[in-house]
Amino acid sequence: MKKRAPNWSCTVFGLAWLSASQAASAAGWTGADDLPTRPLTCDASPAPLSSKPYDGGQPKNAPDRKGKKLTVIDVPKLIGIGYFNATSKGIASAAKELGNVSVKTDGSTKANIDEQVTFIDNYITSGVDGILFAANDPTAIAPVLRKALSKGILVVGYDANATPNSRQWFINQAEANGIGKALMDTLAKETRGQGGFAIVTSTFATPNQARWIAEMSTYQAKCYPKMKWLETVEAQEDNALSFTQASTLISKYGDKLAGIIGMTTVATPAAAEAVKQANKCGKIAVSGIGVPNAMKPYLANGCASSTVLWNPVDLGYASMYALRAAADGVLTPSSTSLKAGRLGDLRIINGSEILLGSPYVFTKDNVGGFDF
């Protein structure tokens, strides 16, 4: 059973915070929940997709919105970073394509759950037809989302889930075991499946990263037993703190550190920059979640080996299509798929999740073909 790690405030970056964070990470944190893991096979065998009865929530006494114009607010974890700029772009693109949706992205410049809840609550009060969100904390965000449902507001998540009954649908960018496998496989390729590695994540409470890390832990033990998990540290999706944490890992472990995995689109390029400044390019492998444009220079100069992601534009695009389909009564608890415009039919899994697809591995050989 995994111990639930503490959730420190995203606004505290002092020495006391770092000391507490590092003390927790030193205990070998490998995931923040007690859910079972489903490690994939060590080869490339495809994983079966799971299905179960619908487990999402439903708006109460919602008005008939079929074919009518919708006013939608998108509240991601934070605004002003490349990843959520891309999801916002996809949301806006789908809204324009659908033609009967007015959408705006708004939120905090910090990945702070309290501020995110406040933004959502304010838009419930001001009045919207639908809310799109990417949760900073799956349980802390749930009450305000349930409040939205109780007011008849449509609620769809993407990127980072909430408690299922607090939203109708969640657009899952890729299943957690698939992401865990991709991250470990890419790092193991560079380290020849051995040596120590560390992880830089956002917070121990961030739901999607906690699940990926839990799956990575089980998969690594099964498929790469000669690799040693040294430490997991928090960096709050803050560029400066991510760089500092990665630099500290490099100094702390020296030659024992063969690789670093960044769990956010901020942490991965920051780790690559730390490796570059430590003159360790080619000696410490860097992989992780990253957007192509931020990672291109590091893939080109050999300070990062690969980056794993999906297309965040498509992720936002699919979430807007899901909300529109739910409003029109096309996407219902009995549905098995979603018609998502240019993405085609997306399969519904795990009760109320809509699967975007498998993660994609960007390398120096293919990253030039992407611009986001």
- CA–CA separation, 261 vs 338, rounded Å? 33
- CA–CA separation, 103 vs 131, rounded Å? 9
Judged by phi (left if over 0) then psi (alpha if -120 to 50, else beta), residue 351 lies in: left
CATH 3.40.50.300 assigned to domain 15-40+175-309? The reply is: no
- Residue 10's pLDDT is what? 31
Sign of the torsion formed by the C-alpha atoms of 114, 119, 123 and 128:
negative
CB-based contact 189:237 (threshold 8 Å): no
- Residue 330's pLDDT is what? 97
Residue 251, number of CB atoms within 10 A of its CB:
11
Helix (H) or strand (E) holding 147: helix 142-150
Helix (H) or strand (E) holding 353: strand 353-355
Sort strands 195-201 and 227-234 into parallel, antiparallel or unpaired.
parallel
CATH topology of domain 70-174+311-356: Rossmann fold (3.40.50)
- CA–CA separation, 328 vs 338, rounded Å? 12
From 321, 322, 356, 354, select the one nearest 336 (Cα to Cα).
Answer: 354
Per-run averaged pLDDT (10 residues), the chain, 372 residues: 32 33 47 73 71 93 97 97 93 97 97 97 98 96 98 97 97 90 94 96 87 92 96 94 98 97 96 98 96 95 92 95 98 97 95 91 91 83
- Residue 206's pLDDT is what? 84
- Residue 25's pLDDT is what? 45
279 CB-near residues (< 8 Å, 6+ apart): none
Which residue intervals of the chain bear CATH 3.40.50.2300? 15-40+175-309, 70-174+311-356
CB-based contact 303:329 (threshold 8 Å): no
What pairs with residue 287 in β-bridges?
A: 261
From 232, 215, 199, 247, select the one nearest 29 (Cα to Cα).
Answer: 232
